[in-house]
């Protein structure tokens, strides 16, 4: 549907529109996913409303204790480390879960998706292949819509499903 030379060039209105229009599934399979909490005020309220309406909301987040994370932090060499960015997301998800976790909210931990972020909203997705030593917001983003079986959308969705299956639950 569209391409952006940088994830940061994808308008916040696109992200908001995709989140608002999703009714069955929202997936954030980015290593940190921290930007969503920073760039979208009241996003937790939106997720809560989606969950209450029966939409599944899943987050696949990087492993702060993984050697993969430590190695990537060395490559990036920025003060806002992967560990800090992951912690921002985990803190926000912990607050979203609250004392009585809403049905449909799931979070898993993996270090296998460090080079590719996939954000799914029902039949549309944003995909960011991470380039070299660049941060996620500096890498290109593709906006895809599912058009039929075994296309780009299904291939990226299958990739996330396989990662999800092998990832560990964030909370017991």
**pTM for the full model?**
0.95
Q: Which residue has the tokens 């449909």?
A: 104
Per-residue pLDDT, averaged over 6-33, amounts to: 96
Per-residue pLDDT, averaged over 65-73, amounts to: 94
Per-residue pLDDT, averaged over 32-36, amounts to: 94
Contact yes or no for 60/108 (Cβ under 8 A):
yes
**Mean model confidence pLDDT for the chain:** 94
Judged against a pLDDT cut of 80, whether residue 136 lies above it is answered with no
Instruction: Return d(Cα 147, Cα 58) in angstroms, integer.
Output: 23
What pLDDT does 161 receive?
Answer: 97
Instruction: Return d(Cα 163, Cα 151) in angstroms, integer.
Output: 19
Per-residue pLDDT, averaged over 79-95, amounts to: 96
Judged against a pLDDT cut of 90, whether residue 132 lies above it is answered with no
- Residue 55's closest CA among 29, 19, 26, 28? 26
What pLDDT does 53 receive?
Answer: 97
Instruction: Return d(Cα 115, Cα 171) in angstroms, integer.
Output: 24
Q: Percent of the chain at pLDDT above 70?
A: 99
Classify residue 14 as exposed, middle or buried by CB count within 10 Å of its CB (0-12, 13-18, 19+): middle
What pLDDT does 133 receive?
Answer: 74
Instruction: Return d(Cα 148, Cα 143) in angstroms, integer.
Output: 15
């Amino acid at each position: 549907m569209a391409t952006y030379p940088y994830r940061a060039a994808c308008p916040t209105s696109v992200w908001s529109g995709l989140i608002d229009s999703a009714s069955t599934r929202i997936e954030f399979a980015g290593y940190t996913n921290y930007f969503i909490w920073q760039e979208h005020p009241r996003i937790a309220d939106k997720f809560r409303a989606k969950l209450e309406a029966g939409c599944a909301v899943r987050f696949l987040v990087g492993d702060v204790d993984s050697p993969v994370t430590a190695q990537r932090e060395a490559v990036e060499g920025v003060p806002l480390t992967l560990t800090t960015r992951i912690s921002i997301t985990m803190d926000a998800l912990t607050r979203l879960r609250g004392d009585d976790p809403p049905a449909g909210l799931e979070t898993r931990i993996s270090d296998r998706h460090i080079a590719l972020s996939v954000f799914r909203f029902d039949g549309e997705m944003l995909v960011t292949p991470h380039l070299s030593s660049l941060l996620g917001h500096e890498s290109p983003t593709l906006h895809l819509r599912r058009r039929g079986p075994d296309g780009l959308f299904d291939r990226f969705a299958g990739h996330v499903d396989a990662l999800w299956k092998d990832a560990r639950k964030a909370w017991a």
